[in-house]
Copies of this chain bind each other. A is one copy, B any other.
Amino acid sequence: MEYRKIKDEDEVRDGAHEDVEKSFLLSVPDSSLSSGGETRIDIHRTKAKWKRKSVVTLALTILTSSQAILIVWSKRAGKYEYSVTTANFMVETLKCAISLVALGRIWKKDGVNEDNRLTTTLDEVIVYPIPAVLYLVKNLLQYYIFAYVDAPGYQILKNLNIISTGVLYRIILKKRLSEIQWAAFVLLTAGCTTAQLNSNSDRVLQTPFQGWVMAIVMALLSGFAGVYTEAIIKKRPSRNINVQNFWLYIFGMCFNLVAMLVQDFDAVMNKGFFHGYSFITVLMIFNHALSGIAVSMVMKYADNIVKVYSTSVAMLLTAVVSVFLFGFQLSLAFFLGTVVVSVAIYLHSVGKMQR
């Protein structure tokens, strides 16, 4: 009972209950393992949770890598004919719709209860717009950073996100990473950057001071948005993820609606909302929506660290798949980066056991 209590406190405080449970099971003496049915149920539950965590992580990896491939594909097919803001709005709407459909099925099966009802309190809902605002500010900054860095340089600086996520994860969620896991995180950053090196990469070293500051601020905003989303979702562990998603995405819809009206009001009014949509546009919207949901699921059942590893692997996968789809050439730097990222993943899992 004592363990259960500690576990629940942990769950509420930082959502790390899976790891606590795992390490508890690892350190439990043999005798108590065979003492009753409860421990066996615990093992079963841990396995189920581990499976769920793996499935959502795998889904995120596949969706993210196919997302990049769709972008390359759409670029090859020509420039965007549709207005990007309508597409973003559609993505948020689709996510809301998917969450509602999932909720409908759950209500039918389990009935409406405290955890899965859609109605909410101001106390619960007041924090939900914050990640959306953070992303908005970050996206606005994005227009200004290109005064200091070119696009490939920005891709390289974006790897600062990995470090900022780790640091904010530690500070805000107060979750500990072992020393080896920190080493792995540094390697992940270095490996991802190495994999993206090309003959023009050295230009990024000439980035002026303002460019560095903006890149760091953007990395912090992006990291903070991710970590804050995890905090919101994990704050109420028993709350159904589809309800939490619904509220996240409703605010996403609002902000994107405003962005659409500000930026593309005339275009939408004159040419129509769906002007220029093609099959690939629809595919991209579906992909973005599902990726978004996968991100939420990873935040709920795993954490930001897993998300960062997952999207890093997706980046490497995209490059490999692009060799077959678009005849891309892989560089030596890509191979070296992949080796370093692979070792980082290995060390992250080894480091977990040792903390």
Among A187, A190, A193, A329, the most chain B Cβ lie within 10 Å of the Cβ of A190
**Closest chain B CB from A346 CB (angstroms):** 6
- The stretch of A3-11, A316-324, A331-339 in contact with B is A331-339
**Closest chain B CB from A337 CB (angstroms):** 8
Distance A98 CA – B190 CA, assembled complex (angstroms): 44
Number of interface residues of A (CB under 8 A): 29
Please state if B183 and A347 are interface contacts (CB–CB under 8 Å): yes
- The stretch of A12-20, A102-110, A200-208, A242-250 in contact with B is A200-208
**Closest chain B CB from A212 CB (angstroms):** 14
Please state if A187 and B350 are interface contacts (CB–CB under 8 Å): no
Please state if B180 and A347 are interface contacts (CB–CB under 8 Å): yes
From B187, B331, B340, B350, give the contact of A202 (CB < 8 A). B331
- Inside 8 A of A347's CB, which chain B residues have their CB? 180, 183, 347
- Inside 8 A of A190's CB, which chain B residues have their CB? 336, 339-340, 343
**Closest chain B CB from A150 CB (angstroms):** 14
From B183, B193, B194, B202, give the contact of A343 (CB < 8 A). B183
Please state if A340 and B187 are interface contacts (CB–CB under 8 Å): yes
- Inside 8 A of A332's CB, which chain B residues have their CB? 156, 193, 197, 201-202, 204-205
Give the contacts of A253-293 with B (CB-CB under 8 A).
none
- Inside 8 A of A193's CB, which chain B residues have their CB? 332, 336
**Closest chain B CB from A205 CB (angstroms):** 6
Q: In the complex, what residue of chain B is closest to A193 when comparing beta carbons?
A: B336
- Inside 8 A of A180's CB, which chain B residues have their CB? 180, 347, 350
Q: Let me know if A186 is at the binding interface, CB within 8 A.
A: yes
Distance A179 CA – B201 CA, assembled complex (angstroms): 33
1/0 per residue, CB under 8 A from B, across A337-355: the answer is 1011001001100100010
1/0 per residue, CB under 8 A from B, across A185-220: the answer is 011001101100101011011000000000000000
- Inside 8 A of A186's CB, which chain B residues have their CB? 339, 343
Among A179, A183, A346, A350, the most chain B Cβ lie within 10 Å of the Cβ of A183
Distance A262 CA – B130 CA, assembled complex (angstroms): 79
**Closest chain B CB from A190 CB (angstroms):** 5
**Closest chain B CB from A333 CB (angstroms):** 6
From B179, B201, B339, B346, give the contact of A333 (CB < 8 A). B201
State whether A187 and B343 are in contact (beta carbons under 8 Å apart), knowing that A179-B350, A350-B180 are contacts in the complex: yes
Distance A29 CA – B283 CA, assembled complex (angstroms): 64
Distance A106 CA – B156 CA, assembled complex (angstroms): 58
Distance A193 CA – B338 CA, assembled complex (angstroms): 13
Can you list 15 contacts pairing A with B, beta carbon distance less than 8 Å?
A156-B332, A180-B180, A183-B346, A183-B347, A183-B350, A190-B336, A190-B339, A190-B343, A193-B336, A194-B194, A194-B337, A197-B332, A199-B199, A201-B331, A205-B331
Q: Identify the 3 closest CB pairs spanning chains A and B, nearest first.
A: A199-B199, A190-B339, A190-B336
Q: Known pairs A180-B350, A187-B187, A194-B194; list 9 more (Cβ under 8 Å).
A: A179-B350, A183-B346, A186-B339, A190-B339, A191-B340, A194-B337, A197-B336, A201-B333, A354-B354
